[in-house]
Amino acid sequence: MEHIYHMPQFGENWFTYPNLYRYFVQELSDGSKIVEVGSWKGKSVAFLGVEIVNSGKKIAVDAVDTWAGSSSEEYHQNDVYVKTNTLYQLFLSNISSLSHIITPVRMPSLDAAKLYEDESLDVVFIDAGHTYEDVKADIAAWLPKVKKSGWLAGHDYPWSHNDEVKKAVDELVSPIDQSEGCWIYRKP
Ligand SMILES: C[S@@+](CC[C@H](N)C(=O)[O-])C[C@H]1O[C@@H](n2cnc3c(N)ncnc32)[C@H](O)[C@@H]1O
């Protein structure tokens, strides 16, 4: 299957981590489960979904988002799809060819984390709220959900706008790897 994430309907080019997502698909086996927290118009999760299709592996992905934009980010709140409450419809339309792999979970991150058993997820990737408080709360909520030898990772480490993501990550998880603007923690 050809990649679709670069098509114009996927909007902003915030997805900087194709090699990391490719690596996760290479490492995981049939029956694995990935959660992406923060999916916006679907660009990053569409890349992941196509990589999974092309791997032939049975890997499931849940995309967690309110599809209301980050409350602290003016850019999100000014987006026409957020303003007209149609971001979720755009996401569903964008990932329609991958709906057998990607399941949307439309709720706040911290509520969504409660849906999963502890140590049940192979990968959780966090790209939701980017304040210190948001990142700290997300790590605290999702880390217990990751299996031993699984990965907890996230975007914008460090983030050009501020160092809040870095501060929260550095306080809660170590040692981390860094790649493609991401922090990556492998649970012992
Ligand atoms: C930076 S965007 C994600 C970009 C996406 N990963 C990509 O590469 O295209 C952040 C997303 O996180 C979502 N978000 C922010 N805070 C959230 C929260 N507390 N719970 C769920 N989703 C949240 C926003 O609605 C937004 O869609």
Q: Is the pLDDT of residue 158 over 90?
A: no
Q: Is the pLDDT of residue 149 over 70?
A: yes
Give the pLDDT confidence score for residue 9 in this predicted structure: 98
Q: Is the pLDDT of residue 56 over 70?
A: yes
Asked if residues 131 and 72 have their Cβ atoms less than 8 Å apart, the reply is yes
Nearest to 133 by CA among 101, 160, 162: 162
pLDDT band at 45 (very low <50, low <70, confident <90, very high): very high
- What is the rounded average pLDDT of the residues 103-111? 98
pLDDT band at 162 (very low <50, low <70, confident <90, very high): confident
State the chain's mean pLDDT as an integer: 96
- What is the rounded average pLDDT of the residues 103-123? 98
DSSP H or E run through 66: none
Ligand 1 centre distance from Cα of residue 149 (Å): 25
Sheet containing 182-186, strands listed edge to edge, beginning at the edge strand earlier in sequence: 102-106, 60-65, 33-37, 121-126, 146-155, 182-186, 177-179
Give the pLDDT confidence score for residue 160 in this predicted structure: 65
Q: Is the pLDDT of residue 100 over 90?
A: yes
Specify the residue with its C-alpha closest to ligand 1, atom 9. Answer: 43
Ligand 1 centre distance from Cα of residue 69 (Å): 6
Specify the residue with its C-alpha closest to ligand 1, atom 22. Answer: 65
